[in-house]
Amino acid sequence: MLEEKILVNSDFFIKTIQEYNDRANKVKIINSVHNDETLKDISIYLRIRPLMPNENEINSFETCFPNKNNPYKAHIYEPTFRFDDKPIIKSQSFDFDYVFGPNDDNKVVYEHSIHNIVEISLAGALGVVLCYGQTGSGKTFTINGIEEYLALDLFNKMDKVINDMNLKSLETFNERPFEIKISFFEILGNQCYDLLNNKEEIFIMEDKFRNIAIKGLQEYDCITADELLKYINIGFSHRRTKPTQKNDTSSRSHAICQIRIHNTVINQANDGIIYLVDLAGSERHAECIQARTLATMGLKQHIHIPFRNSVLTKLLKETFDIESCTRPCTTIFIANVSPNCLDYSHTLNTLRYSSPLKVTQKKGYDPLKKKEYNPKDPSTWEYKHVVEWIEKASNGAIKPEFLVPNKENGIQLCNIPEMEFIRRCLLSKGVTEKRAKLFYLKLWGLIVDCRTKQRKAKLSSKPKPKNTLSQDE
């Protein structure tokens, strides 16, 4: 009924939305504090898909737009009616780390948001991409597109990384410095099935050392980008879908493509991992993401991250369990929305839900300045403290000029992925790979101890009267 009324009044709504949107685009941007060049722990993007041909046919119109002059803002206009049935528009704006519009194709999305993940994963980090949104909003379209570009980019970047990391100079260099392994599985409720092995059931488990293991999962070695793409396509074709009113091939399960990057030259380092996750429907995992961001913001109270609540967040434990994680992790969350006026309420829900996940620091917040130097907490170290620690902790064996050639501070030191860290240590004469690995673990031992102490201190401090999330002053 309301839908019909909206479509009948489409001429009015299209004209008025256009006027509102023109005005919104003219508003001057004051002091935009975004910096997309730095790779954050968690970034929240919005992708607004175009209207589909069948939506155009029924006189539908767009209600959600990216701001033309501010790539971090999106506007949504509600087509509604006054008590006397006069059509009116209500507008709202939302902020993101970046907003992709209907004219941005998968290549633009890949190059802007994902490509950094490839580089850091080749150096041993963990990269996670999550696509979220209502049915028919473009999650599978986005993740599928990303996977294709990523497969090509991964193989192209390898040569660059081999050169940048100077791997050829290492004694253990062989013809195949990187082994790329793919697995593809789906999560349906609490059950998981291997999409590259006849949908055999697999099990995600935490071992006694609290590491996550996937029992029964088949991995396939890929020598070329084409091979990687072949497995991705097979995985997709086996995924459970069911036609819905909005989408002929609606996904019923979470699909996870796991790409593992093993460095055969620096064997001691943990493998880099990329998870590409196409979420089914709009199940809520974001509480973990928001809690994770808040937990690293230096708040006074302890933030619980409920990652054990679902199979998916348990699988992504390293991303969420910051106390036991021993490597840098980057998560890219892409909220997908439809601009169709008939999807208005779903789109608004997705915006309301995902925009606050982008937790920004208060203006002027400088993590280093706010924290007093503590020799046991690397996040408080300036460059000079980093140098002191390297010399002392390695008994002079590891030269700071090799490990922190860009005068990295403590936070930057912790962000060096494991392979790169070990490689830099190996530049100091006489240092073996094993010793370099132990040195890496020594640093991460400090980080983990520190996080555990902070949690305990926060838990034992008196609860505050109000449950505010305000930041430390």
| 428 lies in the site for Mg ion, by CB under 5 A | no
The one of Mg ion, ligand ATP, none whose footprint includes residue 87, by CB under 5 to 8 A per kind, is none
| 251 lies in the site for Mg ion, by CB under 5 A | yes
Q: How many CA atoms lie within 13 A of 298 on its CB side?
A: 17
List binders of ligand ATP among 111-140 (CB under 6 A): 133, 135-140
User: CB-wise, 106 or 140, nearer to Mg ion?
Assistant: 140
User: CB-wise, 139 or 358, nearer to ligand ATP?
Assistant: 139
User: CB-wise, 11 or 105, nearer to ligand ATP?
Assistant: 105
Q: Which helix (H) or strand (E) holds 433?
A: helix 433-460
| 427 lies in the site for ligand ATP, by CB under 6 A | no
Interatomic CA distance for residues 10 and 13, integer angstroms: 5
Q: How far is the CB of 184 from ligand ATP (least distance, A)?
A: 16
The one of ligand ATP, Mg ion, none whose footprint includes residue 310, by CB under 5 to 8 A per kind, is none
| 331 lies in the site for ligand ATP, by CB under 6 A | no
Which 3-state string (H, E, C) describes 267-313? CCCCCEEEEEEECCCCCCCHHHHHHHHHHCCCECCCCCCCHHHCHHH
Contact 413, 378 (CB under 8 A): yes
Q: Is 133 annotated as a binding residue?
A: yes
DSSP codes, 27-68 = SPP------TTS--SEEEEEEEPPPPHHHHHTT--B-EEE-S
What mask, x for binding ligand ATP by CB under 6 A, covers residues 34 to 53?
A: ---------------xx-x-
Which 3-state string (H, E, C) describes 96-116? CCEEECCCCCHHHHHHHHHHH
What mask, x for binding Mg ion by CB under 5 A, covers residues 112 to 151?
A: ---------------------------xx-----------
Q: How many other C-beta atoms can be found within 10 angstroms of the C-beta atom of residue 296?
A: 15
- How many residues belong to the site for ligand ATP (CB under 6 A)? 18
User: CB-wise, 249 or 468, nearer to ligand ATP?
Assistant: 249
Q: Which two tokens stand for residue 59?
A: 């006189």
Q: Is 324 annotated as a binding residue?
A: no
Q: How far is the CB of 276 from ligand ATP (least distance, A)?
A: 13
Contacts for 372 with CB less than 8 Å, ≥ 6 apart:
380
Q: Which two tokens stand for residue 208?
A: 């006694």
User: CB-wise, 73 or 139, nearer to ligand ATP?
Assistant: 139
| 247 lies in the site for ligand ATP, by CB under 6 A | yes
User: CB-wise, 139 or 317, nearer to ligand ATP?
Assistant: 139
Question: Residues marked as binding for ATP?
Answer: 133-140
